[in-house]
Chains A and B, each alone.
Chain A
Amino acid sequence: MQGTGVETEIGRIGATTESSVGDFLQLMKPRVMSLVVFSALTGMVVAPGTIHPVLAVIALLAITIGAGASGALNMWYDADIDAHMARTAARPIPRGRLTRDEALSFGAVLSLFSILTLGVLVNWTAGALLAFTIAFYLFVYTMWLKRRTPQNIVIGGAAGAFPPMIGWAAVTGSVSFESLLLFLIIFTWTPPHFWALALYRCRDYERVGVPMLPVVAGPTETRRQIWLYSLILVPLALVPGFIGLAGPAYLAAAAGLGATFLYLAWRVRKITQGREADTAARNLFGFSILYLFLLFAAMLAEHVAMQWLA
């Protein structure tokens, strides 16, 4: 269906026009959902034990929809600031394709459905973790921390780190050290990932009053903290290779990817002026997504290969 020609314009929420299924999909942040589903799948595959393939698909579906629901609830709450930021001005609510009420009901209903489905059909440890993740993302990150403290994405990042733990719990019905390790890898990956973005989107955040680290503490301090978190992340990502959660192929991949991550983070730290500084931050941001994806892909592929060969 076609809208009635409302232009995307930074700073205002457009008049409501006709919405399409695509607008509801966009509300669920499909790119975030794809990373969530992939990390949850990895958690499920590397977890000890077995799960019926149909139940595994249902669990993944519920986790994916739960992630999408929290994205919709985030867009409902943040519609006012989304309208003022170049990166988010084209989202369905600022464009006037959906109303805030529609986003709220959509997010709330999907949250409830996904939690109930995972809890009833798979197990309640996984269901409770999914409920906690959605609540954490909405109440702790979106409503409480995001507009108040530069630690917003550090603490709020926990919400994005839960999916492999939920996947693991779907198979085992419990939380263990290994699943906590998967959580910690994503948790320490989040700050350098988001702060690299915030470095070159600093003005956007400043305009809407979101206290991202570059806005509050300045780019120099942000660059220092990106470097420090990278120094924690890279060795931490090697640990699965030493505790039996992953094997030598993963370890080699984690080492190679980690070295590249550190190199790019070092460039962000050292190049502080002009266009090159922006480019360095963009490169780190882009690579950070690939890094996490390849890290989990290596773990997943190695595990599947080992099972196949056994």
Chain B
Amino acid sequence: MNVLIRNLRAGPDGIVEAHDAAAVADVVTLGSAADRTIQLLGREVAARHAEIDASGATLKIRCRRGRRIRVNGRDGASVPLAVGDRIELGGHRLRIIAPPGGFDVAIEVQLSTTIETSEFERAFRTDLDQTWLSKRGASWLLATMTLLVTLGVPLAMVFLHREGTATPAGLPDDRLWSPGPLIPAHQHVIADRAIPGHKDAAGKACNACHERLFVHIQDPACKQCHNNVLDHVDRRELELTRLDGPPRCAQCHLDHDGGASLMAVRDDSLCVACHRDQHSRFGSLAVAAVAGFADGGAHPDFSVTLLKPPAAAPATTGGTAEQCAESDAELRSSLASWVPSREPVKTAHEQSNLKFSHAQHLDPAQVTAALGCADCHSAEPDGEHFVPVTMARSCATGGCHQLTFDSRAPALPHGKPCEAMFVIEDFYARAASGDPTLTPKHRELALRLPDRENPEEPVVAPCTGPAYVCAGRRAAAEIEHQFAPKGSGCVSCHVVNDSGAGDIHNRFAVMPVRLTYDYFPATHFRHKDHLVQKDLTGDAACLSCHRAKTSQQSSDLMIPNIGKCLECHSDRPALDKVTLQCVSCHAYHPMSIMRLSRGAQQQ
């Protein structure tokens, strides 16, 4: 269609002049863009604002979406036009006038004089705010996504799991809340989740331990599996103190660190916080104050746990073979009634009922083959304790100590004193009767029976009476030699009570021997870690702590005191010291007392 556009402009003299321009277009476009048929600038005018269409029967103005226009004082988006109608847009005024001949439409345009031409910028998108980029939109999107992924969906999963509802795999769940991987031993707790499409609602997930939201993990959750761990303080002892109770497991045992080394808090301050002061918390429970392990008396002297024999000593009574067997069995069973006793290292004495001199056995001049520590003491697989020393394992090996009193006689049974007496009597009775089966068995052996270099040497005066009387005397003399305090047989190593009774069978009572297996049952000490100490190794390393070379008596306690440890250790990092923590030696959870008696079982 042919369009006449009449621009009314005020000339320099103020008189309005009309400038006509003709255009050929299907529609008359309005807007601030340069390609509009009628270019109108201004804040309220869009680049492409509206179109006047004359294609139909009537003239009509249609706005682009979201735009408005005022026709004859009324706002509208799509308005039919007739000659004489006034259109207002952003201060500009347009009027539909009667088209002169040859024109289909005529529009009179009077531009606003107050609008700056700089408003032309609005015809273009010159700011990122006018693009699809949106701070608000992106903020909403990211915030919603973050909220759903980190909280919304996982929380829904938690409630579904707890109700026992299976949830689809692949959706974010409460594992997203885990601050780090569990230790491998705990991985099985959440392992079932790996099965696609299935989640065990019975607790094989985070809620296996985290039973309630916003509540710390409680001990029952731990004790579902760890049900055999003893508390630090015995319940009865706890009642004697003013302590509330042991802390929660999870206060010291922290998971989600990704490493087993961090599973237990090992810091000294945890122990010292309670144990620093012996009076305030422990009530009538006698607990020594400990402030640390450094030099300067922060840690009390050591106390050892020694086994003490019961007050009533067993008597050897064996008139008959049955009584004898019973007596020997009683001797062995009496070992179980030994009681542990804690004593300061400074004053403690061993009471093993064994006569033994370490100094003598380590002196090459006094033993045929020079002995070392390891000849008798071999470490247990735990590296901490030693295989118990026994007659068979340690004394009789290498032919050192044979229990033979005559080269023709069988060896005496060890640990059965009553039976030993019968063996002696039997031997001499057979010898007196000229038993041809009695032949020297041990002549070639180097016997080292104490103070009897020659086993053939008679120990009694020659007997002139009947053979059986002489045999009885000979046997009694040998039994006395073995057991009497002045003798030198069994009594060389064993403490024997001599009642002086006339009946030789009821006269002697051999005190049972029990060696301490674990001097510190509640603490760790790995001997294996101490086999090399600075420049010491082998026996020298052992002897640096244990004064065996000067120990003449078995009552000597060769356990060093804390001062020895402090030569090499401290609780604070130091250049020439190995740092120790409380838990390096002490177990927070009590170890079983069974260890203490283990030695007895093996002797």
The answer to whether A and B belong to the same complex is: no
